[in-house]
Each structure stands twice: as structure tokens, then as C-alpha cells.
Amino acid sequence: MGLLKFAGGRVFDPEHGVDGVVQDIFVRDGRIVAAPGSDADIAQEIDCRGRIVMSGAIDMHTHIGGGKVNIARSMLPEDHRGDPLPRTPLTRSSCGYCAPGTLAAGYRYAEMGYTACFEPAVLPVNARQAHMEMGDTPIVDKGGYVMLGSDDFLLRMLAARQDQRAINDYVAWTINAAQAIGVKVVNPGGISAFKFNQRYLDLDEAHRYYQVTPRHILKVLAQAVHDLGVPHPLHVHASNLGLPGNVDTTLATMQAVEGLPLHLTHIQFHSYGAEGDRKFSSGAAQIAEAINANQNITADVGQIMFGQTVTASGDNMTQHRNSGLASPKKFVVMDIECDAGCGVVPFRYRDKNFVNALQWAIGLEIFLLVNDPWRIFLTTDHPNGAPFTSYPHLIKLLMDKSYRKAMLATINPDAAAMSTLGSIDREYSMYEIATMTRAAPARLLGLKDRGHLAPGAAADIVVYRDDKDVEEMFARPQYVFKDGKLVAQDGEIVAVSWGNTHVVRPEYDASIEKQLKPYFDLFHSMRLENFGISDDELCECGHGSKAMPHACRNGRVR
Amino acid sequence: MENVTCPFCGLACDDLQVDVAAGMPVPVANACATSREAYRRLAPVPGLTARVGGTPVLLDVAVARAAQILGHAINPLFGGFATDLSGARRIVQLADRCGAVIDHMNSTAKLRNLLTVQDAGWITATLAEVKNRADLVVLLGTDAVSRFPRFFERFVWNEESMFDLDPRSREIVYVGQGLDMRAGCAPDGRAPTSIPCRVDEIGEALGAMRSLLAGLAPQAQVVAGVPLPQWAELLEKLRNSSYGVIVWAAPDFDFPHAELTVQTLSALIKDLNRTTRVCGLPLGGSDGDFTANGVLMWQTGLPFRSSFATGIPVYEPHLNSTQRLLDSGEADALLWVSAFNPNRVPPRTELPTIVLAPPGANFEREPDVFIAVGTPGVDHAGHYTRTDKVVALPLRKLREIGLPSVEAVAASIEASLQQAAN
């Protein structure tokens, strides 16, 4: 492949401190290369003058594949009927607004300039299916965080007070078996507790059977992820999601890991006070203050947007508790393999509803009150807060205070009055948006060759028109390049590729399998030998997807 | 070979030992009667494996003829759809290109559950939850073992559980008629409870139990031919269980509007979960139905009985049934895929018909094109999604007798169509 020159664009590359500087970028064989000599033969020049250039965007928390997503799809034919994606000579047909088919999801992500997406809830036992669905998601790269913390094996290790080293081996074994890039814990211990008919599990409340607390689970898993050198900190869906007053739980969760790195996901759903006439208020200021003060904490927001969506979560306890709020009135809850669970509840967020309106304001408050764009991430927890296609609108809300205030004037007035949003004048800069959607997620996940534009990086490059309307700008970039190949232009797919799968491979003592083998034989419904996913299988499951291993902090790539 | 996954029912047991030394896979341990029979019928049939109009031809010739039929069809129907992950991916892609309707050979039964999921949802558990947690197992209209022979052996009468439960102490209740209840006897000889009633009246009984649970005693003293107190007693068992599981198999709910029975069951289970834990266990997944339909669902957003005729997927569960499209004459060609079982032949039709199935099928009417394909998990590797949908198991290649996969044949047909279009 010849040399490609992106000429004269205003480049935003926060990883290298480049803030809107006019620069040329050169690409060869899918990688960014140093500027060649003046006599170099340029095969193609992309005129970027007057354009904004960034690396491909990375969605670090989006439910795009795995059992619960497919349940959501199967539950919602009415959602799909309203949002068809016709077949073209180049692209396949698909459909779906809040729970789109994988084909629609991949095309739409690429059209918006996203080049990598991470599925945050890969159940170990469902990892094959998650990779199958991610594999059938075109163009973008993907990766998954494997879910632990309500699995019987870990909980019995904790109950038996097994030492941290043994737990680390089990966690590393699971990451390898599931071909994951991180570890997530969802309502620590709560998914299991629900199967024992517990309906709540607070941070220091003991699980009825194992007598283990969520705090203990968090501490041990955060330690394991840290000890193993996995770049991405433990990804935490905290206890008490959605409950008024849960801000205290969330603050206590931050402290529970005693300074270890921790990522709190969809933190908006965990930032609720219990004040006011309706016993529901914003805890955003406290949360933002805590994030600002604790360098070990990162968070993604899980912003809600008004309209129809579907909530799909591993948190069967919470989803069952909220099932009465389903709209339309249907829900699926599932207990899974003594390992995990899921719950799918369709939901419509209404701007005139006090609670929903305040949820919207709380999310924005968190975005605007957290100072460091390297530690707060732009997500809607697709599709739980809203479909990912609402990102351009969300970016506009962050970058344009007059637009934001105009929107605030249209929501439930009691909620607006309870929120400090109207008094916040901060506007995100282009550099900050590039940070939170590119550089920061790549750094947080340990993707050394993504999220930036220096030589050696993969040529995932997006060229935007410098539009006055940032929503329009981010919805339809002029050019999207994936690994050096033009895949989308002006919001249309122009070439279809299939991405690869980012993984980490922490080392472990293989003798952990000596414990696991008899355990599987006695209790499980499948053989240990059929549990792990080999590279060949990943390729087969993942539509030709190749594993792209990233180094753990001990420096080794396996 | 150890730890081999059996692809011949929805349980997808992955603990088989199969002797492959003689070039013919022979299960030597852990295979049930259904499985042994399925492996037996894999015996290679001599001669060419593709036919056009009944005449043996080379594969390329059959593929070209299949592409010609599909290329000329205006409203092709892709039925059967029994294949593995890779086969399903290719078939869905081909359907999109051809503007076809996709339906599955098991869809009439599957629809009873799917309509419930779309209308109301449900609360369910997977097999390892049942194995380790269920202290009460209620079987509605099914004995499980007729279709899923190792259900009790693997998931009910296991020796130990993860928790305090002694599996041998589980209580078993059968509701229905003509059920084989032998498997429900506990290892110590304790007999299961039986409530004999017609399967198409189970819905009434479930409704009565919902009513009782809500504190509204029905006026009828006999429901579904059974005295009301027996239903009240079953309800009490469910209410007092720590983790009750209610098992049904959609194919056994073979009566009109059975989806209403499933829906009432879903509602009863939801009601019970206000105070205790009770889960449904819908048994299915045979003939790769969760495997292939899973692919169709996640790629396109829609399930079986969807049409690609207008360039977008459109789901019409009643209009797009195989039988209706054949009976009404709306379809003008049929592609039938049955990769796991040569005996699942297409319904009788005069339409131009292409069949992809393992050798050995007996047709009432010879299809226009027959292409022998390998069985996933025997002739090639693959993936198979189990009854509870969560677990996809790897299928291994056990022999090589030169049979192509559904994936390969569908890809060749598509290439041939592409060539014709250029």
C-alpha cells in the first residue's frame, strides 16, 4: 500500500498534547508513520485543510454483544420495525434503534467515527456468544470485560479465605479463557444473592449463603486486577443501582479499594441523593468532588437521554426490582449458570417526569463538575441510558452552554429547580472531547497503538468538517479511516471491513486448573476442556477476528 | 476422543467419548439412545453426493443449478435452517441477497415461546442453576426425557450440589398425560407426584393458581379435570420452595394458541417471584434452532419468519410460515437446510426445491437439487447453542469423508449468483 498523506488538518491528539495544531499525518500499511523526506512518493493526499482531525473514537462501555443484548433484540420487534436499515450494494440489511442488529451497530458506529467498542458484560460462560456477536459487528474493533463477583467459584474462594494469589490465578485464568481485556464486577455478590432470594445487598451486608460482603469482593477483585498488571482497573457497576440515596454507597465503594485503581461505570445511576419532597435528589456534586480528589478513580457517566430505550444488565436483582417500571410492560430476568445473571427491561425516559429529568441533569452535572477529562468518559451505557447514536447530541450538550440551558428549560421544572445545571457555565473544548473519547479510553485500556496519532499508531483516523453545529459535525464526519482504509464518508459506509479483538493475557499458575477440573466435573453443565476459547476459535466465532494482545503492566505480551 | 459435544438435541451434552479410530465416529460413553442412533445413521453413502433432478453430478454443477433457481426466484423461501454458527451466517447473508424469507423447521413450536417473550417476557434459569439449586421441579406437559434423554441424569439426580441442597431430596411433580415418569423417581425409589390433566387445559390450571395466589378463590371446584385443592397444593409447593423450577417444552404444547398457556405460566412465575424464587426452564434448541436463529436475530435484529424481500428485514410471524407460503403459492422456490438430520425433509411441494442435508435422506419427491453436506460436529468443526441459549459449545471434527459444510455450499451458491450478476 502506498503512502497516504492527511494534509493540513487541525489535529487534536491529547496523548501528545497536540491541541488544534495544523499538522500533516502520514500513513503506510495501516499505520501512522513519521513524516517522510520531501522526495517521498505520496500515493494519495487527503485534503484536510479547514478540517478537524482526530484518532478514531473509542466507546469503552457499550452493550453490543452477548446473551442479554440478543434477548433485548428478541423482545422488541416494535423497536426494530420503526428503524430499518436497507440493504445496499455494499452493506447488508439490518434494523433496530435501541437494540440494533450487530450489522446496524457496526455501520452506525463507523459512520460516527468510532473505530473500537468494548462490551462491558461478558459472562465467562457466555463469552463465546459475545465474541460471535461482536465478530458480526462490522468495521469496528472490539473487546470485552469478563464478569466476575457473583460466580460461585470466586465466592467460595472468598468464603474459604483463600489467599490473594490463588484468587489472582483464577481471575487471570478467566480473562484468558474468555479472551477478555478487563474484568467487571456487577452489583458485587448481588446477582448471586438474588438467587438466594435477597432483594438488596448493601456494601457491608453479608451474602446469605457465603457470608461474604460486596466490600470484600471489590477489594479482592481490584487487588487481583492490579496484581496481574491488567491495564484497565476493575470495572465496577456498584451496589444499589438506581436507589435514591445510593450516592453514599458509591462514595463508600470508592474508599473500599483503599487507593487501588477503580473504574466506576455508569456513575450517573449511582449518584442519587434522597433529599427534597420526593426523596430524590442529585448527588452529582459529591461524586464529582470525590472523583476530583481521588486520582485512583475513573468513571464513565451513563448519560440518559429522553425517549425509548431498553435497559440490559447483568444485575438481575436490580432489574427485577425495577421491572414494574417497564415500558412497554414486559421484562426478562434470567439466572445464569451459578455464574451470573441478566435482566432486560424496556424503558422510556420522559423529559416531563421528575425522576427522569433529574437523572438527565445529574449525568450532565457529573460531566461538567469533574475537572479531569482523562478520568471521566463519554457513555450512555448503550442502550441503558440511550442508544449510542445519541453521542453527537450529548457532545453538543457538553460543548454549548446556551444549547444546554435551552434544553434545561424544557424539562420537568421541579427537576430543573433541584439541579445546579443551570448555574454551570463550563463548556467542553474540542481538546477535552478528543481526550474523553479517544486518548483517555485508549490509555485506560492499555491500547498503546490506539487513541493517538503518533507514528506507530494504527491509522484509525477521523476527519471532521469544522461545522458550527457540533452535533452535525460528530454525527457525520467527512472521512473515517480504519487501519488506513477509508470506511465511511459523510455518514455513509464506503467499504466494509471486520475489526479485530483486543485482549490481555495475564500470566497465572496453571495449577489452578487442578482445582477447576473436579469442580466443573461435579457441579457444572459443561466440561472445563470446552470452556476456554482458543485463538483459532476466537477467529471462527469472531468472523475472522484476530486476537490483538496488549501488554500487562509487567510488560509481557502473551 | 473425549469431551465431544453431541449436536443431536438441545442439551448438547459435551461429555461424550467417541471412538474415531475406524473413520466412523462411534460413541462409547455418555451417549443417550437418541445420540447413538444419530451417530449410527452417519454411515457414509457411496457414490456422488450431489444430484440434479435425481442424477448424480459434480458439486459445482449442483451449485450452479441451485444458484440459477435462486437467481430466477422472486420470492424464495429458505426453510429448515438447521445448521451451525458458520452455516447460519452464510445462509442469512444469502437470504439478504436473494430477498428471501427465512423460517426454521421448529418455528411453529418456537413461536409459542417467542410470542410470550415479545408480549410479556419471563423469568428463567439455565441448566447449571437447575442442577445446583432447584428443590422443586415441576414438569408441565412434558416428561423432558422423551426429547432430552439425559435431562434427569445430568441436571436432576446429580450426586452433589454447590450449596446445601441434596439433589436426591428434590421434589418432582408431573402435570400432564401420557408422560414417561420413570426418570422422575428419586434414586432412593421415592415416586414423583403426578397431576394428570390434558396439556391444552394446563393454561386454565395456571390461571386458577394465579387467582389463588392473588387471594381470589375461583368458583370452579374442578379445573382442567382436577379438583381445585390439588392445584392449591401445587401452588403451595411452589410458594414454599427455595428455588422452584417449572419445565416445559414448546413442541409438547402442540395445540392452538399454546402461546397463551406459556404467557399465563410466565405471569404465574412473575407473581411467585414477589416473595420467593421460581424460574421457568423452557427446553428446546434441537436441530440447531437457537444456534441459527441466534445468528439471524443478532445480525438483523429479527427472528425467524422474517422476510428480506423489500431490502429490509420484516418480521411477520404468521404470514411468513413455511407451510403458509407453500400452501398459498406465494413462495416460488425453496431452499431447505437440515444439516443435523437427513430425515427432516421439506414439506411436500411442487416448487423448485434445493435441499442441503447429510446423505441418506429419503424424499417423497426428489428435489431439483440435492447437495449432501457434512454434519456439524462430525464432518467439520462448528458451534452449537444449547437449550438455555447462554452456552455455545464447540463442535469438533470427527471424520473426513469429503462432505462440504453448509457454510461452504452457501458461499459457493452466493459466488455463483455474484458471477451471474456481473
Q: Is A10 helix (H, G, I), strand (E, B) or coil?
A: strand
Nearest to A206 by CA among A189, A184, A182, A229: A189
Read off the pLDDT of residues A308-344 as tens digits, 9 standing for 90 and up: 999 999 999 999 999 999 999 999 999 999 999 999 9
- Residue B29 covered by a domain: no
Query: A402 φ, ψ to 5°?
Result: -70, -35
Nearest CA in chain A to B394: A530
Task: Mark whether B313 and B356 lie in a shared domain.
Answer: yes
Nearest to A54 by CA among A487, A437, A483: A437
pLDDT over 60 at A557, yes or no: no
E strands of A29-91, at which residues?
A: 31-33, 42-47, 51-55, 57-59, 84-85
How far is A301 from A339, CA to CA, in rounded Å?
27
Residues 6+ apart with CB under 8 A from A9: A22, A23, A25, A48, A49, A51, A52, A53, A463
DSSP codes, A343-396: EEEEEEE-TTSHHHHHHHHHHHHHHHH---TTSEE---TTTTSS-GGGHHHHHH
Read off the pLDDT of residues B80-131 as tens digits, 9 standing for 90 and up: 999 999 999 999 999 999 999 999 999 999 999 999 999 999 999 999 999 9
Task: Please answer whether residues A498 and A545 qualify as being in contact, where contact means their C-beta atoms are separated by less than 8 angstroms.
Answer: yes
User: How far does B192 lie from chain A, in Å, by closest CA?
Assistant: 24
Helical segments of B41-182, H only: 59-72, 85-98, 107-119, 127-133, 151-155
Average pLDDT value over all residues in chain B: 96
- Residue B33 covered by a domain: no
Residues 6+ apart with CB under 8 A from A505: A175, A176, A549, A552, A557, A558
User: How far does A493 lie from chain B, in Å, by closest CA?
Assistant: 17
First to last CA, chain B: 46
pLDDT band at B43 (very low <50, low <70, confident <90, very high): confident
Q: Which three cell numbers stand for residue B198?
A: 390434558
Task: Mark whether B115 and B191 lie in a shared domain.
Answer: yes
User: How far does A195 lie from chain B, in Å, by closest CA?
Assistant: 7
Closest by Cβ to A70, choosing from B5, B270, B298: B298
Task: Mark whether B138 and B276 lie in a shared domain.
Answer: yes
Nearest CA in chain A to B298: A101
Q: Which three cell numbers stand for residue A465?
A: 468538517
Number of domains in chain B: 2
pLDDT over 90 at B178, yes or no: yes
First to last CA, chain A: 29
Task: Mark whether B364 and B268 lie in a shared domain.
Answer: no
- Residue B8 covered by a domain: no
Amino acid identity, position B14: D
CB contact under 8 A, A525 and B133: no
Task: Mark whether B226 and B320 lie in a shared domain.
Answer: no
ipTM (interface pTM): 0.97
Q: At what angle do helices B406-421 and B85-98 cross, to 10 degrees?
A: 20
Read off the pLDDT of residues A345-394 as tens digits, 9 standing for 90 and up: 999 999 999 999 999 999 999 999 999 999 999 999 999 999 999 999 99
- Quick check: bond before B44 cis, omega within 30? no
Closest by Cβ to B393, choosing from A326, A523, A530: A530
CB contact under 8 A, B302 and A86: no
Nearest to A143 by CA among A439, A450, A442, A502: A502
Nearest to A78 by CA among A329, A322, A324, A333: A329
Domains (range + CATH), chain A: 57-445 (3.20.20.140)
CB contact under 8 A, B294 and A337: no
How far is A115 from A94, CA to CA, in rounded Å?
20
Q: Which of A69, A496, A530 is the best residue to mutate to test the B interface, defined by the most B CB atoms within 10 Å of its own CB?
A: A530
Contacts of A70 in chain B (CB under 8 A): 294, 297-298, 389
- Could you tell me how many CB contacts below 8 A there are between chain A and chain B? 204
CB contact under 8 A, B85 and A523: no
Distances (CA, A) of A353 to A325, A410, A422: 13, 11, 18
Please return the burial class of A277, using the count of CB atoms within 10 Å of its CB with bins 0-12, 13-18 and 19+.
exposed
How far is A74 from B133, CA to CA, in rounded Å?
27
User: How far does A258 lie from chain B, in Å, by closest CA?
Assistant: 32
Nearest CA in chain B to A93: B312
The DSSP output letter for A436 is I
Quickly tell me which residue has 450529548 as its cell.
A394
The percent of residues above 90 in pLDDT, for chain A, comes to 96
User: How far does A334 lie from chain B, in Å, by closest CA?
Assistant: 5
Task: Mark whether B241 and B356 lie in a shared domain.
Answer: no
pLDDT of residue B208: 98
- Residue B3 covered by a domain: no
Task: Please answer whether residues A48 and A9 qualify as being in contact, where contact means their C-beta atoms are separated by less than 8 angstroms.
Answer: yes
Domain boundary among the residues B283, B300, B315 is at B283
Task: Mark whether B264 and B400 lie in a shared domain.
Answer: no
pLDDT of residue A545: 83
User: How far does B210 lie from chain A, in Å, by closest CA?
Assistant: 18
How far is B94 from B88, CA to CA, in rounded Å?
10
- Residue B17 covered by a domain: no
Average pLDDT (A539-552) is 89
Amino acid identity, position B52: V
Contacts of B93 in chain A (CB under 8 A): 92
Domain, as residue range, for B253: 111-283
Task: Please answer whether residues B342 and B361 qualify as being in contact, where contact means their C-beta atoms are separated by less than 8 angstroms.
Answer: yes
Amino acid identity, position B30: N
Closest by Cβ to B124, choosing from A77, A334, A527: A334
Q: At what angle do helices A164-178 and A512-523 cross, to 10 degrees?
A: 70
Q: At what angle do helices B107-119 and B258-272 cross, to 10 degrees?
A: 40
User: How far does B93 lie from chain A, in Å, by closest CA?
Assistant: 8
Closest by Cβ to B294, choosing from A70, A95, A334: A70
Task: Mark whether B121 and B102 lie in a shared domain.
Answer: no
Domain boundary among the residues B224, B254, B283 is at B283
pLDDT over 60 at A3, yes or no: yes
Closest by Cβ to B312, choosing from A86, A132, A335: A86
Nearest CA in chain B to A81: B314
CB contact under 8 A, B122 and A152: no
* Residue A472: Cβ within 10 Å count: 14
How far is B33 from B26, CA to CA, in rounded Å?
13
Nearest CA in chain B to A129: B392
How far is A556 from A504, CA to CA, in rounded Å?
10
Closest by Cβ to B311, choosing from A86, A195, A525: A86
Closest by Cβ to A541, choosing from B96, B155, B383: B383
Average pLDDT value over all residues in chain A: 97
Task: Mark whether B203 and B63 lie in a shared domain.
Answer: no
Residues 6+ apart with CB under 8 A from B178: none
Q: Which three cell numbers stand for residue A460?
A: 484509525
Looking only at the bridges linking them, the beta strands covering B26-29 and A114-122 are: unpaired
CB contact under 8 A, B243 and A523: no
Quickly tell me which residue has 475489526 as its cell.
A499
pLDDT over 80 at A554, yes or no: no
Closest by Cβ to B391, choosing from A99, A125, A323: A125
pLDDT of residue B372: 96
Task: Please answer whether residues B335 and B66 qualify as being in contact, where contact means their C-beta atoms are separated by less than 8 angstroms.
Answer: yes
Contacts of B279 in chain A (CB under 8 A): 335
pLDDT band at A555 (very low <50, low <70, confident <90, very high): low
CATH of residue B304's domain is 3.40.50.740
Task: Please answer whether residues B265 and B248 qualify as being in contact, where contact means their C-beta atoms are separated by less than 8 angstroms.
Answer: yes
Nearest to A228 by CA among A14, A417, A526, A509: A509
pLDDT of residue B44: 76
Average pLDDT (A393-420) is 97
CB contact under 8 A, A101 and B298: yes
Contacts of B297 in chain A (CB under 8 A): 70, 73-74, 101
User: How far does A89 lie from chain B, in Å, by closest CA?
Assistant: 9
- Residue B12 covered by a domain: no
Domain boundary among the residues B283, B309, B336 is at B283
Task: Mark whether B266 and B207 lie in a shared domain.
Answer: yes
Q: Is A233 helix (H, G, I), strand (E, B) or coil?
A: coil
User: How far does A410 lie from chain B, in Å, by closest CA?
Assistant: 33
The DSSP output letter for A458 is B
pLDDT of residue B360: 87
Nearest CA in chain B to A193: B277
Nearest CA in chain B to A533: B394
Closest by Cβ to B125, choosing from A103, A335, A529: A335
Please return the burial class of A402, using the count of CB atoms within 10 Å of its CB with bins 0-12, 13-18 and 19+.
exposed
The percent of residues above 90 in pLDDT, for chain B, comes to 95
pLDDT of residue B46: 65
Q: Which of A71, A74, A545 is the best residue to mutate to test the B interface, defined by the most B CB atoms within 10 Å of its own CB?
A: A74
Nearest CA in chain B to A210: B163
Task: Please answer whether residues A182 and A230 qualify as being in contact, where contact means their C-beta atoms are separated by less than 8 angstroms.
Answer: yes
Closest by Cβ to B129, choosing from A74, A96, A338: A338
Nearest to A114 by CA among A551, A411, A412, A461: A461
Nearest CA in chain B to A319: B123
Task: Please answer whether residues B356 and B337 qualify as being in contact, where contact means their C-beta atoms are separated by less than 8 angstroms.
Answer: yes
Read off the pLDDT of residues A253-272 as tens digits, 9 standing for 90 and up: 999 999 999 999 999 999 99
Task: Please answer whether residues A262 and A235 qualify as being in contact, where contact means their C-beta atoms are separated by less than 8 angstroms.
Answer: no
Task: Mark whether B169 and B205 lie in a shared domain.
Answer: yes
Closest by Cβ to A522, choosing from B160, B164, B302: B160
CATH of residue B126's domain is 3.40.228.10
Contacts of B133 in chain A (CB under 8 A): 195, 335, 338
pLDDT over 90 at B388, yes or no: yes
Closest by Cβ to A75, choosing from B86, B121, B277: B121
CB contact under 8 A, B121 and A123: no
User: How far does A415 lie from chain B, in Å, by closest CA?
Assistant: 31
Query: A35 φ, ψ to 5°?
Result: -60, 125
Contacts of A524 in chain B (CB under 8 A): 128
How far is A265 from A249, CA to CA, in rounded Å?
14
Residues 6+ apart with CB under 8 A from A467: A473
Task: Please answer whether residues B356 and B66 qualify as being in contact, where contact means their C-beta atoms are separated by less than 8 angstroms.
Answer: no
- Residue B38 covered by a domain: no
pLDDT band at B48 (very low <50, low <70, confident <90, very high): low
User: How far does B226 lie from chain A, in Å, by closest CA?
Assistant: 31
pLDDT over 60 at A278, yes or no: yes
Distance of CA A90 to the CA centre of its chain: 28
pLDDT over 90 at A193, yes or no: yes
Quickly tell me which residue has 370452579 as its cell.
B220
- Residue B28 covered by a domain: no
CB contact under 8 A, A93 and B96: yes
Task: Mark whether B388 and B259 lie in a shared domain.
Answer: no
CB contact under 8 A, B131 and A525: yes
Q: Which of A538-552, B57-71, B154-168, B317-331 comes out lowest in average pLDDT?
A: A538-552
CB contact under 8 A, B391 and A337: yes
Read off the pLDDT of residues B352-371 as tens digits, 9 standing for 90 and up: 999 999 998 889 999 999 99
Nearest CA in chain B to A345: B121
How far is B403 from B401, CA to CA, in rounded Å?
6
User: How far does A530 lie from chain B, in Å, by closest CA?
Assistant: 7
